[in-house]
Homo-oligomer: A and B are copies of this chain.
Amino acid sequence: MSKDAGRVAERSRTIDSVKVALLGCGVVGTQVVRLLREQSEELAARVGAPIELAGIAVRRPQRHPDVPAELLTTDAAGLVARPDVDVVVELMGGIEPARDLLLDALKNDRSVVSANKALLAEEGEALATAARESGADLYYEASVAGAIPLLRPIQQSLAGDRIRRVAGIVNGTTNFILSAMESTGAGYADALEEAGRLGYAEADPTADVDGYDAASKAAILASLAFHTRVTASDVHREGIRDVTATDIASAKALGCSVKLLAICEQVDGDAGSTVSARVYPAMIPKAHPLASVSGAFNAVFVEADAAGPLMFYGQGAGGPQTASAVLGDLVAAARNRVIGGRGPRDTAYAHLSVQPMGEVRTRYHVNVDVHDRAGVLAAVASVFAEHGVSIATVKQEGGREAESPDADDAGHGGDAGTDATLVVVTHEAPDAALRATVDALSGLDSVRGVASVLRVEGLGRPVHALGGAQ
């Protein structure tokens, strides 16, 4: 401790301005440069000294005509190593070279501000260790939910509470696609194309639509909320590619919307606590506040023992929005340099193991296409019962009236009887039991196929816990 404090004291004597190395200057970086320039006086008043850009590392300097040419460099490592740099702001994305650059920066007592969710989710521990050892700051508010202040509230405002659950919509691209599917009835492919045309989806949408982006964010949120270490590979991940227009219509019929949710929970069991972190599309009731979060907006619920339910809402992406979060961190890091101090430190003392997805208790909505003949419901129901899964509601659609448009589809048995669909919503059960139930259903003679499986969230605790929001 005395070593740390001594270093703080020494450092703060020597700083008249805070020099910033910016790594990467794309959509967010350009906005950071603009806001630093436009707000230079306010920022200096808030920090206690001016913030100056020492340099900007980019791959192709000729592509940045709006940035002062003398600041541009292709030598990121050289920029980070410059002795006059106080804070490194990393907006490159990806694991390398960002990882090595930031570890070098932290080891040399440069504070780091990063918006790199993939890196933080993967190498959070190494970065936190490097920061702790040198006494430098490590901030990454912009890595999750864009402009929404979320990590600071979780890490600092709720530092005296026990967080139980963090759940929300943390990926704007998938939320845009699902909102479009719901409002227009479009299929996934058409909605994705529209998202791309409007700039809400990248040319390669994999990171978003397959849930990698949300999984990284879930890992970061779970790590901070539960004072443990969760990496992206610990997060159960399902994307939205397989969500069909029929799924959305089924959800609508039940008064639900389909959202890609990131859910982090601390689960207390007989053998101690574990942590569950998972990303999947799920139906939520339209009355749930998350159901009305549409387009590129993000919203996250945090539930803590004493605080109760909290919601944070805002824009989860975009250049100025993400730059706002980056600059908030930069002001904090710069202020610590000037006044003496330290940002929040890693508190991953809990060492929780990850609950296997099979043990996670969740609910399923299952559309089972069946041959509408005597005993089919009993046969289906007993498969659920055999696996210990309790059925909450079951509804038959089609049937005697043979409404099903694909009633004449080939290859499904060919027994007598018209076709119908059983719409089953289960109570909470371990995910493994639900999976096994669905697998077993496919093997029934009277079942033509399991048409769709979607999880259901927000029917139980979360909504009730909310109280105020209708």
Q: CB-CB contacts of A437-470 with B at 8 A, as 1s and 0s?
A: 0000000000000000000000000000001111
How many angstroms between the C-alpha atoms of A338 and B42 in the bound complex? 31
Oligomeric state, in copies? 2
How many angstroms between the C-alpha atoms of A141 and B152 in the bound complex? 13
Residues of B near A227 (CB, < 8 A) are 42, 45-46
Q: Which B residue's beta carbon lies closest to that of A311? A: B313
- A308-B321, A470-B292 are known contacts. Are A339 and B1 too (CB-CB below 8 A)? yes
Query: CB distance B314 to A308 under 8 Å?
Result: yes
Residue A143 at the chain B interface, CB threshold 8 Å: no
Which among A76-84, A322-330, A364-372, A374-382 touches the partner chain? A322-330
Which among A7-15, A120-128, A188-196 touches the partner chain? A7-15
Q: Smallest distance from the beta carbon of A138 to chain B beta carbons, Å?
A: 14
Query: CB distance B292 to A307 under 8 Å?
Result: no
Q: Which B residue's beta carbon lies closest to that of A338? A: B1
How many angstroms between the C-alpha atoms of A451 and B43 in the bound complex? 49
Interface set, chain A 354-403, CB cutoff 8 A to B: none
Residue A156 at the chain B interface, CB threshold 8 Å: yes
Interface size class of A (residues with CB under 8 A): 35 or more
Partner of A296, one of B292, B307, B468: B468
Query: CB distance B311 to A311 under 8 Å?
Result: yes
Residues of B near A295 (CB, < 8 A) are 467-468
Partner of A294, one of B314, B324, B470: B470
Residues of B near A327 (CB, < 8 A) are 159-161, 306
23 contacts between A and B (CB under 8 A): A1-B12, A1-B13, A1-B48, A1-B340, A2-B9, A2-B13, A4-B12, A5-B12, A8-B340, A31-B306, A45-B349, A46-B347, A147-B310, A148-B310, A149-B149, A159-B332, A297-B469, A304-B324, A305-B320, A307-B315, A307-B325, A340-B340, A341-B342
The 3 A-B pairs of least Cβ separation, nearest first, read: A160-B327, A297-B468, A149-B157
